[in-house]
Amino acid sequence: MTSVRLHIAGPVAELRLDNAAKLNCFTVEMLGQLSSHLEVIEARPEVRAVIVIGEGDRAFCSGADINAWGGLSPAEFARNWVRGGHRIFDRLARLSKPSIAALNGHAFGGGLELAAACDIRLITPKATIALPEAGVGIVPGWSGSQRLVRLIPEGMVKEMALFGRRIGAERLLACGFVAEIAEDVRATAQEIAQKAAALSPRATEITKAMIHAGQGEDSAALIEALGSAAIAASDDRQEGVTAFQGKRKPEFPGT
């Protein structure tokens, strides 16, 4: 049975794609499970960092299972599969906790887009990335043509998407797409996650949002979130709540 498994150990949550027989490619069920797990992680304040990894040692994720979308109508494909997956990956990108993609093997198509939605990436020496969508008559649909070009050079994205080439670990390290090449990416990811867990969770959350806003990622939501946080700490907010509960006219102190 294919699945995305969630394991929480202390301050670190691990999301593991388990469809090893098909190189951990995404099914409809796995997308739904990923979405549900992200909601759980967001609601658990004790979770301070997240690791995303694939089962086995052949692939991190080979993309989307063609059998999952091949029979969909054009409307279903665009509305449900593409837009639905995009929303879930956006949820991962905007998670308040820092996330690490541990590329224990190849990351193709949707798998590469999943890795791009994480904050940093680690990779094994022999793993490669690719955007093979044009080979089956489709285009990147889960942010491959958008978020990815903010992380690696445009020419490299075109090299994969337009020419069908794979990019190896050394080039990815050189351009900054991956933070480290490691034989045991899970162990390295755990070490990095534990260090992140020791930092101020509020500071890392706000810093992550500020960095994203600087890159045009969800800047409108950040403005409202920071404004709401500022007003929540004010005496005016407390007076407004107290007056409403006491059924009287508020007298705002302006502080």
**What digits encode the pLDDT tens for the residues 109-146?**
999 999 999 999 999 999 999 999 999 888 888 888 88
Q: What's the pLDDT tens digit per position in 96-113?
A: 999 999 999 999 999 999
CATH topology of domain 3-197: 2-enoyl-CoA Hydratase; Chain A, domain 1 (3.90.226)
The pLDDT score that the predictor gives to residue 218 is 67
The pLDDT score that the predictor gives to residue 221 is 65
Q: State how far Cα 83 lies from the chain centre.
A: 15
- Counting residues of the chain whose pLDDT is more than 90, the rounded percentage is 65
Q: Is the pLDDT of residue 182 over 80?
A: yes
Every domain range in the chain assigned CATH 3.90.226.10: 3-197
The predicted model gives 159-164 an average pLDDT of: 96
Spatial separation of the C-alpha atoms in residues 117 and 125, rounded to whole Å: 21
Q: Which residues are catalytic?
A: 113, 133
* DSSP codes joined into one string, 115-172: HHTSSEEEE-TT-EEE--GGGGT----SSTTTTGGGTS-HHHHHHHHHH---EEHHHH
User: In the structure, what pLDDT confidence band is assigned to residue 219 with cuts at 50, 70 and 90?
Assistant: low
User: In the structure, what pLDDT confidence band is assigned to residue 60 with cuts at 50, 70 and 90?
Assistant: very high
Q: Is the pLDDT of residue 162 over 70?
A: yes
DSSP-assigned beta bridge partners for residue 13: 8, 50
Question: SS3 for 13?
Answer: strand
Q: What's the whole-number average pLDDT of the chain? A: 91
Half-sphere exposure of 150 (CA within 13 A, CB side): 15
The predicted model gives 29-43 an average pLDDT of: 95
Top-ranked range on mean pLDDT: pick from 185-189, 211-215, 244-248: 185-189
The pLDDT score that the predictor gives to residue 113 is 95
Residues in the chain: 255
Q: Is the pLDDT of residue 36 over 90?
A: yes
- Give pTM, 2 decimals: 0.89
The predicted model gives 196-220 an average pLDDT of: 86
The pLDDT score that the predictor gives to residue 236 is 85
User: In the structure, what pLDDT confidence band is assigned to residue 69 with cuts at 50, 70 and 90?
Assistant: confident
Q: Is the pLDDT of residue 86 over 90?
A: no
